[in-house]
Structure 1
Amino acid sequence: MPRHADVLFVTAIALAAVSPASAADRQMISIAPGRLGEAVIALGHQTGASIGISDQSLTALPTPAVHGHLSSEAALKRLLRGTGATLQRIDANSWRVIRRLPKRRPSLAFGPPQPPPAATPPPAEIIVTASKRDLPLPRYPGMVEAIDYGAITSGEAASGTASLLSRVASLSSTHAGPGRNKLFLRAIADSAVAGPTQATTGQYLGDMRLNYAAPDPDLRLYDMQGVEVLEGPQGTLYGAGSLGGIIRMIPNPPNLTRYGGLLSAGFSATQHGDPGGDLSATLNLPIVAERLALRLVGYGVREGGYIDDVQRNRDDVNRTDIYGGRATLRFAPTENWIIDLSGVYQHISGDDAQYADKTAGHLDRASSVAQPYSSDYALANLRVERQWSDLRFISSTGFVRNILSESYDATQPNTPASLFRQHNRVTIFSTENRLVRDLENGLGWILGVSYLESTSTISRSLTSFGMAPVAAQVIPGVPLYGFGMPATTTGVRNRIHEATLFGEASFEPIAGLVATLGGRVTNSRLSGQAIDPISLLSSAEIARAEAAADRNETMFLPSLSLLSDAIPGLTLYARFQQGFRPGGLAVDDQHVLRFSNDRASTLELGIRKGLAGRDPIAISANVAYTDWRDIQADVIDRIGLPATANIGDGRIYTLEGRIAVRPLPGLTLDGSIVYNDSRLSRPTPYVRALAIADQSMTLPNVANLGGRLAIDYRSGISNDISLNLNGSARYVGKSRVGIGPILGRNQGDYFDTAVTASLARGPVQLSLSLSNILDSSGNRFSLGTPFNLRGDYVTPLRPRTLRVGIDFAF
């Protein structure tokens, strides 16, 4: 029979508390109505108490609002009224929440009294909410990286996705600039350029999808409760575009009872470059006590430039400005209902590209024109949650508009300066409605339906800045008018409609063995259309391609996992899952072509011993094999235009390991390593023709070897002053930009280092951080302008940068 939970799955620990309050001390406590798991976390943060829950199913119980000057114990008793749970004291400031046992009739037999259960210290809470079933980490069959709110400093929040790259060894990225990068997990990477293909890594803000056929929007990470990274495929729960995995950012929700906020400011100085800075504000406003509240976040970031253009005699040309905000209105009409209305806006403006040319210098290049870019991102989301004991209904509906404008130097020898512009407008409407039942010890099920509509419209133009029309052509069939007059070139529009039914269930056939079965059925309607086709493209060819792209498909994605935790503290698991991306229409310099679906199937085996943050030593390891069929990739055509094609079949072997050691209560040492072996095992004839006989067919943009070492030290200097020191070093091994002799040049093989010190006293925190301590130039990305693929281009790391910051909470 299934065993009862014998470990605590939820523990709230006040990380910032230097000297925890006594259990009898009265403190100002303010907790909004919600679920028991969230309530004990909030109480732990506010009081410094350690509170464990022995039964996972208790975490979903509804709890009332609690506020006032109360002791931790009194607040806990108020939360537990009517829940069927009770308290068990561990020590002066630690409790366990347990299910209340029914009263039994006195036994008529005589015998010695049974001893009470031994008290054990409560472990740290690690709940994988991105599993959509709130699974405890010991019973999640897969690799997951969970970054909690206390680990993301204001300086890292200002860096956006870059801060995640420095923390998650299996996460990699192109480096074209904020708002233009493609993210990759588990070595599932398609190409270096951003075309009409769907992303291989799904990104979410809460339950709302952020991206589809567009790069990483690179939202700043201010006021986040945490970030979870699940390695893929994640096709059963997240559908198309999650081949490599998903990244889920979890924002802090509005507090229904407490006013408060946070102000942060930072100034940064970059060696060899311009200064920068960041400013943010968070404000929580209860409107109707315990019923209605608004939470506002606003920020502005300037990243100083550090690339010099020697041809135009300009210094530090690649300055980037970012500003945006987020607002969430929460309405809780009863203890069982939560309704959130959220909005996000962010604007990124880059003055110029951030690549250099090694022939000009490690931070220099020679360009005929500036290559600015911009990203406008907006999101609106309505989320509704209804709770019945251990049953939950969640509905999330929203709309995304993402407009990315890019430009590339298209100047050719013996022609005037020319600029190629690409404008990608992506819209996404999505709704997901799911019913979840969380049972004891991570068991339960989920059943859901979803619908998605997405349109990607890519328009292109070519502008010559000569003083007269030019006979030579950069793009066949596209004139060079001169005088800064743009000439339109062929673009493409892709639409997709997806209707999906998905489900997953976990059960325990024997004690210590958990089986999980799942599946996803998706019906996709796809269509493609050429925009402003040039005269060289025949109408008959366009019509045939559009007809081929207009189709209706149904796909089934199964999943299966087995997990054993029969040995206390040790988890073994095996998992099989699939993911896919739908096809569409692409344009190269002389053709309009259809590209087909691709599908990735992954089998992985893993082991996990101990939990980071709880045990003195925590170890996890994973080995995975991925079979990737009909790989979609954004490639470069004969003249440098991004186009999309199926390049063949590939296979990927991945080996990962991580160890976290806590030799002292305030000291944590963390190390991780990732090895990837990826090959295009069966290239298409087109790709085979590009490659020379002895060239490796390694898949692009993911290093063969990567690793990270980190240290974190926290100490209380006095009753109201705390110190935090942390440092990290990350190695990124060699990779290739793409397939073939032109895109086959090496990149990577560098170290990235950073150290941060912060001192907190009451509501004020001062911080000092230094990134790229060694002032290494490295090469993060070897693609410059695609119209000159034979240049010796590199994208150096940001030079050594010092940031001074201050945070003030109120």
Structure 2
Amino acid sequence: MGRRADRLSVTAPLLAAALAVASPASGAERQSITLPPGRLGEAAIALGRQTGANIGLSDQSLASIPTPAVSGRLSVEAALRALTKGSGATIQRAGKDGWRIVRARRRPAASPPPAQAAAAPPPDLPPAEIVVTASKRDIPLPRYAGMVEALDSSLFSTAESAAGTATLLSRVASLSSTHAGAGRNKLFIRAIADSGVAGPTQATTGQYLGDMRLNYAAPDPDLKLYDVSRVEVLEGPQGTLYGAGSLGGIIRIMPAAPNLGRFGGQVSAGGSITHHGDPGGDLSAVLNMPIVPEKLALRVVGYGVQDGGYIDDVLRGKKDVNRVRTYGGRAALRFAPDADWTVDLNAVYQHIDGDDAQYASKSVGRLERASSVAQPYASDYILGNVRIERDWDGLRFVSSTGYVRHDLDESYDATQQGGSPALFRQDNRVTIFSTENRLIRDLDNGLGWILGASYLESRSTLSRTLTDYGPPPAERPAPMEQFAIIPGVPIYGRGLPATATGVRNRIREATLFGEASFEPVRGLIATVGGRLTNSNLSGRAISPVSLLSTVDIARAEAQADRTETTLLPSASLLTDAIPGVTLYARYQQGFRPGGLAVDDQRVRRYRNDRVSTIEAGVRKGVPGRDIFAASANIAYTDWRDIQADVTDRIGLPATANIGDGRIYTVEGRVAVRPVPEVTLDASVIYNDSRLTRPNEFVRALSYAGGSLSLPNVAGLGGRLAADYRAPLGQMGQFSLSASARYVGKSRLGVGPILGREQGDYVDTSLSAGLVRGPIRYSLSVTNLLDSDGNRFSLGTPFDLRTDYVTPLRPRTLRAGVDFAF
């Protein structure tokens, strides 16, 4: 069977091998074949299904080659030769009943530039079938039971690639963020949101680069989206396939794979100006180098981005303090020794350096605040991964093993009223080792099974210090108790740090999982699955302050050291008996393991939490492909022992179980293509979340008329977008896109102090592009209406009463140019 060149994409290049649905036919046997004009990846799939032949593509770049209509009684070989005639590709035998399409040794005269600089596919060519590869079984979208957003790289401009996660937030209505700053945000899908402050608890949204987990007990690393082929957002829970930490769902980024047959690359540059702020800029470069043609290739990506500041600090007399610089890169080495094996080595590094926090105070000014000290932060992210894939006899084996180190250093203004300037620092060091091995039977149209085993070990170390910049205690007129900021933590003065209590958590997970789909009657697909996880948890206090009881610490650590076994079942029913319409119902669970946290300078254990979701939905058509496409979904989620990163009475981030809750969610989307050049897209989401059984300390925070809704969950959200793409004769290919996203009201937390409102704003953007040969010119404007909406109501956790807001970045204009070679 031909090797599948790129499983990390969700379009036709990823369906490179068309699997047999009947007894394979001989290459010389003539059969009735009907193939419309299209692209080579689609034609290979259709030909394989019509004839039962196994057809593979050597690399993903071949899939986009235009093909003519082919019909008549032909042999598979004759049909393939007709499809590839004059395309720069040729065919090879791959076993008795298989064929492999490879790039001809002589390069074609006009080879396509990389995706970001290339023009959009001509409107008269049908787009490729969307396949949900994050399902780990390559399921066509019409036969996937659940809500999914599949964002193709052709939709991303270079400016959007530089924006990273912010681009996904602007395009996916069900995705939200805390907006604490690049590299320190918590992401939420649908309404599965715990809190806005950062602590040691695991994320509710799983993030992946290909098959490699990006985060665990840490926020979003905010990797830039340069040279990415596809991004999928799957709504959760996704416990069966992805295990712990996928309560809300998963975000899967598929980087472009090395091209085995063509040398090329791209260079891009852009400059931006922000109203009431500093200028910014971005640079990036992509280089693809075949080392041994059709067998070994290297792909390297490097980038640097500066986001200009726009917040002024009036107390320190500084302007535009929140400048952020990001630089990093990726490298991928692909080795394909034969038609059945693929070995990928991947490496990622990214550094984020933020000069100061990005919040303001309404009482001071729209984009101003008064802080005694700067609050810088930094993030360092390193990833290494080895992925091996083997295809044979209708089976596919995938093995992915890797290591992640994520260091996040944050600081908060801890100055008390009438006290000396003080700074609280929190350093989170997270490492992840993970390996997953799975065997897949991809039968026709997504039917089949998957069986796998995985192991994950995550270690997180949260250390804290308090630094006072005033005079030493001996030179202060009042007793030191009056100046205490954190009980038990000394004040040295003169900028000398004092250690506060921290925690260290370790989690080991060994897992068996499986899922199978079958068709008991024609048009009805049933899927059942389950994941059995054995977790070993341990926690330790770090540098406990003197007032902590040794007995209490020992008790908490003993409670944290435990082994648990968790079973997560799943089931779904789907029917496509009505032509062009999919109806489905799904049930799935997810969980997060517990651990240790510091609460009010005490070490406490927090327990596992678990969600169960039942949902039903309908889907018609495929957005961006069909003239009319629509989807709708309604879901009910039961959330037990909710883990939330809260603040203790001092203001320090802590983690606790806040009780049980329930969430109702209704979603809808409509995409229309009135003419081939224009796409109109509208989506809406409504959430109704409540703490149905708050625990004792949450009930103590409630008050008459107070809301017990879950924090950081907007009740209403939506998005409107329009996209126009068309050729302009000799001038090139022109594109114009506009969008507006509404984020409804939510609350920062629970109770009268953390219950402040946020959200209720509209974010807008407009972009235009022109492709002329290998050059692409672009112009974009974000926050077109210069709205000052409040994205996040937390400034510093040491001051929860000031009217802090996190405003949208003011109107920003960017001009850029890309050059492909």
Give TM-score, length-normalised by structure 2.
Answer: 0.87
Structure 1 partner of 2:131: 127
Structure 1 partner of 2:571: 560
Distance 2:619 2:356 in 1: 45
Distance 1:288 1:71 in 2: 25
Stretches of structure 1 that go unaligned for 5 or more consecutive residues are 1-8, 14-21, 27-34, 54-60, 88-119
Structure 2 partner of 1:580: 591
Q: For 2:759, what is the secondary structure of its paired residue?
A: strand
Is structure 2 residue 526 aligned with structure 1 residue 491? no
State the AA in 2 paired with 1:522: T
Shift, 1:610, TM fit: 1.1
Q: Pick the aligned partner of 2:633 from 611, 618, 622.
A: 622
Shift, 1:52, TM fit: 11
Change (3 A) 1:605 1:38: farther
The one-character-per-residue Cα deviations of 1:416-461 (angstroms, maximum 9, x if unpaired) are: 0000000000000000000001001210000000000000100000
Change (3 A) 1:360 1:287: same
Q: Pick the aligned partner of 2:286 from 265, 282, 287.
A: 282
Shift, 1:49, TM fit: 3.7
Is structure 2 residue 442 aligned with structure 1 residue 457? no
Q: Is the Cα–Cα contact under 8 Å of residues 25 and 71 in structure 1 kept in the other structure?
A: no
Q: For 1:537, what is the secondary structure of its paired residue?
A: coil
Q: For 2:298, what is the secondary structure of its paired residue?
A: strand
Q: Pick the aligned partner of 1:743 from 754, 776, 784.
A: 754
After TM superposition, which residue ranges in structure 1, 4 or more long, deviate above 2 angstroms? 9-13, 22-26, 35-45, 47-53, 69-87, 120-124
Structure 1 partner of 2:412: 408
The one-character-per-residue Cα deviations of 1:114-134 (angstroms, maximum 9, x if unpaired) are: xxxxxx996631000000000
Q: Is the Cα–Cα contact under 8 Å of residues 67 and 84 in structure 2 kept in the other structure?
A: no
Distance 1:536 1:23 in 2: 76
Q: For 2:630, what is the secondary structure of its paired residue?
A: strand
Is structure 2 residue 244 aligned with structure 1 residue 240? yes
Structure 2 partner of 1:101: none
Q: Pick the aligned partner of 1:157 from 158, 161, 172.
A: 161
Distance 1:42 1:203 in 2: 26
Is structure 2 residue 546 aligned with structure 1 residue 535? yes
Is structure 2 residue 619 aligned with structure 1 residue 608? yes
Shift, 1:288, TM fit: 1.2
Shift, 1:380, TM fit: 0.4
Q: For 2:752, what is the secondary structure of its paired residue?
A: coil
The one-character-per-residue Cα deviations of 1:498-545 (angstroms, maximum 9, x if unpaired) are: 000000000000000000000000000000000000011010000000
Superposition pairs for residues 638-653 of structure 1, below 5 Å?
A: 638-653=649-664
The one-character-per-residue Cα deviations of 1:225-244 (angstroms, maximum 9, x if unpaired) are: 11000000000000000000
Shift, 1:42, TM fit: 2.9
Q: Pick the aligned partner of 1:468 from 467, 472, 495.
A: 472
Structure 2 partner of 1:763: 774
Distance 1:763 1:575 in 2: 46
Structure 1 partner of 2:811: 800
Change (3 A) 1:295 1:24: closer
Q: Is the Cα–Cα contact under 8 Å of residues 92 and 100 in structure 2 kept in the other structure?
A: no
Distance 2:87 2:369 in 1: 65
Distance 2:703 2:401 in 1: 49
Shift, 1:79, TM fit: 7.9
Shift, 1:479, TM fit: 1.2
Q: Pick the aligned partner of 1:194 from 181, 191, 198.
A: 198
Distance 1:243 1:229 in 2: 13
Distance 1:308 1:75 in 2: 58
Change (3 A) 1:335 1:37: closer
Structure 1 partner of 2:605: 594
Change (3 A) 1:574 1:540: same
Structure 2 partner of 1:43: 62
Is structure 2 residue 556 aligned with structure 1 residue 545? yes
Q: Pick the aligned partner of 1:697 from 694, 702, 708.
A: 708
The one-character-per-residue Cα deviations of 1:715-763 (angstroms, maximum 9, x if unpaired) are: 1011561100001000000000011111100000000000000000010
Distance 1:784 1:237 in 2: 37
Q: Is the Cα–Cα contact under 8 Å of residues 452 and 497 in structure 1 kept in the other structure?
A: yes
Shift, 1:11, TM fit: 5.0
State the AA in 1 paired with 2:345: L
Structure 2 partner of 1:513: 524
Q: Is the Cα–Cα contact under 8 Å of residues 635 and 642 in structure 1 kept in the other structure?
A: yes
Distance 1:790 1:609 in 2: 48
Superposition pairs for residues 166-565 of structure 1, below 5 Å?
A: 166-469=170-473, 471=480, 472-565=483-576
Q: For 1:360, what is the secondary structure of its paired residue?
A: coil
Change (3 A) 1:259 1:52: farther
The one-character-per-residue Cα deviations of 1:198-247 (angstroms, maximum 9, x if unpaired) are: 00000000000000000000000000011000000000000000000000
Q: Is the Cα–Cα contact under 8 Å of residues 11 and 51 in structure 1 kept in the other structure?
A: no
> CA RMSD for the aligned pairs?
2.5
Structure 2 partner of 1:685: 696
State the AA in 2 paired with 1:510: V
State the AA in 2 paired with 1:528: G
Structure 2 partner of 1:790: 801
Distance 1:717 1:149 in 2: 22
Q: Is the Cα–Cα contact under 8 Å of residues 11 and 50 in structure 1 kept in the other structure?
A: no
The one-character-per-residue Cα deviations of 1:180-215 (angstroms, maximum 9, x if unpaired) are: 000000100001011000000000000000000000
Q: Pick the aligned partner of 1:71 from 53, 78, 85.
A: 85
Q: Is the Cα–Cα contact under 8 Å of residues 572 and 584 in structure 2 kept in the other structure?
A: yes
Q: Is the Cα–Cα contact under 8 Å of residues 50 and 122 in structure 1 kept in the other structure?
A: no
Distance 2:247 2:382 in 1: 25
Aligned length: 742
Q: Is the Cα–Cα contact under 8 Å of residues 203 and 247 in structure 1 kept in the other structure?
A: yes
Q: For 1:780, what is the secondary structure of its paired residue?
A: coil
Distance 1:36 1:146 in 2: 25
The one-character-per-residue Cα deviations of 1:132-188 (angstroms, maximum 9, x if unpaired) are: 000000100000000011011110000000000000000000011000000000100
The one-character-per-residue Cα deviations of 1:471-505 (angstroms, maximum 9, x if unpaired) are: 12000011111010000000000000000000000
Q: For 1:529, what is the secondary structure of its paired residue?
A: strand
The one-character-per-residue Cα deviations of 1:384-435 (angstroms, maximum 9, x if unpaired) are: 0011142100000000000000000000012100000000000000000000
Q: Is the Cα–Cα contact under 8 Å of residues 332 and 339 in structure 1 kept in the other structure?
A: yes
Stretches of structure 2 that go unaligned for 5 or more consecutive residues are 1-9, 15-35, 41-53, 102-123
Distance 1:303 1:646 in 2: 37
Q: For 1:155, what is the secondary structure of its paired residue?
A: helix
Q: Is the Cα–Cα contact under 8 Å of residues 37 and 68 in structure 2 kept in the other structure?
A: no
Q: Is the Cα–Cα contact under 8 Å of residues 517 and 525 in structure 2 kept in the other structure?
A: yes
Is structure 2 residue 722 aligned with structure 1 residue 711? yes
Distance 1:307 1:73 in 2: 54
Q: Is the Cα–Cα contact under 8 Å of residues 12 and 52 in structure 1 kept in the other structure?
A: no
Shift, 1:335, TM fit: 1.1
State the AA in 1 paired with 2:235: E
The one-character-per-residue Cα deviations of 1:337-380 (angstroms, maximum 9, x if unpaired) are: 00011100000000000000001001000000000000000000
Q: Is the Cα–Cα contact under 8 Å of residues 226 and 250 in structure 1 kept in the other structure?
A: yes
Percent sequence identity is 68
Shift, 1:24, TM fit: 14
Distance 1:243 1:171 in 2: 13
Q: Is the Cα–Cα contact under 8 Å of residues 390 and 396 in structure 2 kept in the other structure?
A: yes
Distance 1:713 1:517 in 2: 41
Tell me whether 425-434 or 613-622 shows the greater mean CA deviation.
613-622
The one-character-per-residue Cα deviations of 1:624-653 (angstroms, maximum 9, x if unpaired) are: 000000000000000110000000000000
Shift, 1:589, TM fit: 2.4
Q: For 1:158, what is the secondary structure of its paired residue?
A: helix
Change (3 A) 1:24 1:617: closer
Q: For 2:740, what is the secondary structure of its paired residue?
A: strand
Shift, 1:551, TM fit: 0.2
State the AA in 1 paired with 2:367: L
Q: Pick the aligned partner of 1:675 from 686, 695, 701.
A: 686
Distance 2:760 2:128 in 1: 36
